Structure 1
Amino acid sequence: MSIREIIEGKKEWRAHVARVKGLPQDYQIVYKEIQKYFFKVGPVELTEGTGLLSGIIDLFEEGAALGKGVLEVTGSDVAAFCDDLIKDSETYADIYKEYVEQEVNKATKKITDKSNKTK
């Protein structure tokens, strides 16, 4: 990553944060909880710019402009709202699960190969 890309990334993030701060207080609170949730769950695309998070801000700005409360936009189960947004996205948990399965398969194969050789 070049210095130019780092600088551009910081500019984009600052603009993103400014948009969040422009939302009504209840929207800001829910947005921050969604952001925390995504950072814990780990959708891979989250680290590729601010696309997913910007889309949420777009939705929130539209809801606020229509005078809706944030839970009218997300529904009362915010975690379910988040899960629905990333249901078709690969997560870091998925990647780790695949890694563990591969390691277990390698270890099982080695054990099987050793036991077949001793027969």
Structure 2
Amino acid sequence: MNFWEKITGSDMTKEMKAFEMRAKKLPPDYQAAWEKINAHLWPHSDFTGRNLMPILDGVLGLLEETAADGQSVEEVFGDDIKGFCSALAGIDEAKSFRDKWREQLNNNVAKKLGK
């Protein structure tokens, strides 16, 4: 990745298009699960979203493997896709903007109080 791609985000655009092409090859129920997972993971991104690219790649790989094995989406994720995404983001320590701002505010208050 060169400087220009990093500044413009064109590398991420290419990667997301590749993810979408891979997702279109999945069965319809897996495509719906991919859309839900994608929607639930993005709030855990950093400013650029680059921290989610390996996570999204891994989840899409999991979907491809389980679809090839003939498992249903419910067998893979259960009924709680949102919980799966939260656990996944927590495992990889992907903090949302809100978490970062809360931590920064707490640190600033602690400095002002002299702790």
* TM-score interval (norm. to shorter): 0.7 to 0.9
Determine whether 1:30 maps to 2:38: no
**Equivalent in the alignment of 2:53:** 50
> Equivalent of 2:86, from 83, 87, 112?
83
> Equivalent of 2:103, from 94, 98, 103?
98
Distance in 2 between residues matched to 1:99 and 1:9, nearest whole Å: 27
Cα displacement (A) at 1:2: 2.5
Distance in 2 between residues matched to 1:54 and 1:84, nearest whole Å: 16
CA change 1:4–1:77 in 2 (3 A) is closer
More displaced, 51-60 or 68-77? 68-77
Distance in 1 between residues matched to 2:87 and 2:20, nearest whole Å: 24
Superposed CA deviations along residues 63-112 of structure 1, whole A, max 9, x for unmatched, are 11111111211111112211221223140233222111012223434xxx
For structure 1, the residue ranges without an aligned partner over 5 or more in a row are 110-119
For residue 13 of structure 2, what is the amino acid of its counterpart? K
Determine whether 1:2 maps to 2:7: no
CA RMSD of aligned residues (A): 2.3
Scaled by the length of structure 2, what TM-score is found? 0.77
For structure 2, the residue ranges without an aligned partner over 5 or more in a row are none
Cα displacement (A) at 1:49: 6.0
Q: How many residues align?
A: 108
For residue 100 of structure 1, what is the amino acid of its counterpart? L
Bigger radius of gyration, 1 or 2?
1
Scaled by the length of structure 1, what TM-score is found? 0.75
